Amino acid sequence: MRGLYPIVDVDSLQGLGNSPQSIVEFAERVLHALPPLLQLRAKHTGARDTLELLRALRPLCTRAGVRLFANDRPDLALLAECDGVHVGQDDLPLPVVRQVAPRLSVGVSTHNLAQLLDALAERPDYVAFGPVYGTASKERPDPSVGVALLAEAYAATRAAGIPLVAIGGIQLERARAIATHCDLAAVIAALQPDKQSLEGVSEAACALHAALSP
């Protein structure tokens, strides 16, 4: 499992009109890169609308052979027949997610080495670590960890046999610098078009996936 981990962030896609159709079309273009995983992140979207989006993405991911993850909501992930759920430090603890949704794969966000080691002890399916660089995708981002600390985190996850996902501020020009220090890199902003169109999304996703798959 190597390369790009695209995150379809509903809030960040408001420039495309934020309609369900535009969000699904964006995801469809990202899937041209055939990443191992794709995540829907809908922090300020209601449960009904989030479920509808997940259900629309499910067949697209299935056809592409890409595993679909929901952000934060194991209940919606189950209803939409997702492959997994991603949880943060303030979401349901991993053991609780395992209890309520035992068939789901679970990824966990961590922001320092102490959190990383705690997460590894609970054996998630992957651990995310960062932000590696400054990011505008969070309202209150944690301090940047940098590439050196990412390398330390990668050594710990490799020893544990658990994949590491780098998160935070990852762009194409930075991809090769981190590619040897993680298994996957989660990307939001660098996939999004500059204009109110989907032009260039597929190309950006393919370029990032290639750069992150040494």
Domain enclosing residue 36, as ranges: 3-211
What span, in angstroms and rounded, lies between the C-alpha atoms of 28 and 49? Answer: 18
What single-letter DSSP state applies at residue 78?
H
Say if residue 137's pLDDT is above 70.
no
Q: What whole-number percentage of the chain has pLDDT above 70? A: 95
Task: In the chain, count H helices and then E strands.
Answer: 8, 8
Q: Is the pTM of this model over 0.85?
A: yes
Is the distance from CB of 97 to CB of 123 less than 8 angstroms? Answer: no
For position 196, what pLDDT does the model report?
72
Name the average pLDDT for the chain: 94
CATH of the domain at 77: 3.20.20.70
- Helix H or strand E segment including 129: strand 126-129
The answer to whether 140 touches 133, Cβ cutoff 8 Å, is no
Q: pLDDT (tens digit, 9 = 90+) per residue, 165-198?
A: 999 999 999 999 999 999 999 999 999 887 777 8
Number of folded domains in the chain? 1
CA distance 189 to 186: 10
Using alpha carbons, list the distances in angstroms from residue 43 to 8, 20, 46, 73: 11, 15, 9, 10
